[in-house]
Structure 1
Amino acid sequence: MPTVLGLTNEKRQSPPGSGPHISSSTTMGSNARLDTISKRNHASAREMETLLWRALCDEPETLREYLAHDCIMINPLLAPGGSSEPLSKETQPSVVDVLQRAADRKKFTGYRFHGEPLVVEVDLMAVALVYKISLFRYGRKGVREVVASCSSTWRQTAGADWLLVAFHVQYADDEDEDEE
């Protein structure tokens, strides 16, 4: 028998997505049922990471809409001179300055995750990811691939938006690539 919340106390289990209504917890292009906060957080983390790299490849300056005001970053792929110095809103250059300069430089044209990013919940409203990625850029000698390992941390706002609070990128060893 249905209750006020739309739940039922009947013993019969119906497959996900079937029944009188389609649950809003089945989302994000997956057939998997996202029926817990943890599952939704993990799916959101992977989706936000995809949006992050799509923004970096298309228009790096648009990444600003995903940044928390207190975002910190180490990214030699974007920083002037390939610097691995930590960046924040107080550093010179700041995170925003680096993104604006990256928009003027030669951009990456595509990316590919190596497997699925690993996700861990930091808190009920925060997640962290680690993964390896290949970035592609066209140059005079054809397509150039850059392999990097990445880590990012996302925080969810009260309005359910996810904001990037920490982003770390480093070049990966080429030796690992030869074995794959």
Structure 2
Amino acid sequence: MAIYGNPVGGALNAKTFMLEVNGGETEIAATVVGEETVFDATPNDVRTGKKFATSSGVEVGTKDIPAYRTAQGAVIIKPNENFSIVLEGYSQYDYTKLQCLISKFNTSVDDSVAVDKVVIGDNVYAVNSTIPLAAVTKDAATKSIKLNIKNESSVDYVLRYFTYREEV
């Protein structure tokens, strides 16, 4: 099937049209392309509930693709400072999952790998212990994650973190 003629009404560069068949009894969405295009997406390629065009017509997506954001980094914690991570963008401080590794600063951040504390499941633990040292909290006012422990030593610590936040 080919469409011939000049566009009537609408924008001159319109690419999508509603075609009426049988005096408006049936409407067909049509997209103008420069060459023959094969629509090969399947419902499992498109997010749940989103409509898309296929070679057999309009279909609804079935793929559950959760949206999420990740953050990773390292923070130097000086003596007498509290262990915390500031994540201002996209409310990432309000994480879904968090993991942290805490080690004494060596000659550089990359060389600081002798881990002595970890954060797993919203708790801070000493390595080789199952007894929580503190519970992690989220602070909306400062957009930060607080580990609720303090560097009470005279040396710097490196706090490495990885987090993801599932978007709703």
Tell whether the structures are fold-level matches, with TM greater than 0.5. Answer: no
Larger of the two Rg values belongs to structure: 2
- Structure with greater proportional strand content: 2
TM-score for both structures, normalised by structure 1: 0.27
Task: Tell me which of the two structures has the higher relative contact order, counting C-alpha pairs closer than 8 angstroms and 6 or more residues apart.
Answer: 2
Whichever structure has more helix as a proportion of its residues is: 1
| TM-score normalized with structure 2 length | 0.28
